């Protein structure tokens, strides 16, 4: 896109040199030359707004399509893994050890930002149900989905699916 003809900075309006050249070319109009050049520059800029709005709408539609496709794939993957978790038994002690490892990883300066982000999200998912289940003496086996707090994620998936309808 070409450079702006009219610049507005903190309420102060300035013009590109081209506007001045047009005003000079319109000098036979006298005092009206500057006004006419400004109106011409405004007309060009207003036309550009429409083109920019159309371009942004197209970009938004493309981005929305990409995001929706990604959401669909990730929700499918989440639901798949959630179903697998519903059929998998784990020991409470293993869950406690895993939670300790996630806490250690979160504090590890050598871990990547992505690892920190995953650990930061997993800790509350793992810890919330674990406290209740760990109160019983000894180690016992539970369904993986029973030991993870997935309600918030399930709600987000349900809300996304409702929007898709």
The pLDDT of 97-111, averaged and rounded, is 91
pLDDT band at 38; cut points 50, 70, 90: very high
The answer, yes or no, to whether residue 61 has pLDDT greater than 60, is: yes
Other C-beta atoms within 10 Å of 96: how many?
A: 16
pLDDT band at 36; cut points 50, 70, 90: very high
Measure Cα distances from 122 to 14, 28, 50, 75, 150 in Å. 54, 74, 46, 17, 10
Cβ-in-10-Å burial (0-12, 13-18, 19+) of 4 comes to: middle
Q: What is the pTM of this model?
A: 0.65
Task: Identify the pLDDT of residue 22.
Answer: 96
Task: Identify the pLDDT of residue 18.
Answer: 96
Comparing CA positions, the residue from 52, 53, 43, 50 lying closest to residue 6 is: 43
């Amino acid at each position: 896109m070409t450079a702006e003809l009219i610049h507005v900075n903190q309420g102060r309006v300035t013009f590109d040199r081209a506007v001045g050249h047009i005003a000079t070319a319109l000098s036979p109009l006298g005092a009206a030359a500057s006004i006419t050049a400004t109106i011409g520059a405004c007309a060009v800029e207003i036309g550009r707004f429409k083109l920019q709005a159309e371009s942004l709408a197209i970009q938004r539609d493309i981005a929305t399509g990409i995001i929706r496709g990604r959401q669909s794939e990730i929700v499918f993957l989440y639901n798949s893994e959630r179903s697998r978790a519903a059929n998998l038994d784990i020991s409470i002690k293993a869950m406690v050890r895993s939670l300790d490892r996630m806490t250690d990883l979160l504090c590890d300066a050598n871990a990547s930002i992505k690892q920190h982000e995953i650990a930061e999200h997993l800790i509350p998912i793992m810890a919330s149900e674990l406290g209740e289940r760990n109160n019983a003496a000894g180690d016992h086996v539970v369904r993986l989905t029973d030991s993870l707090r997935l309600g918030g994620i399930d709600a987000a998936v349900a809300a996304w699916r409702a929007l898709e309808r």
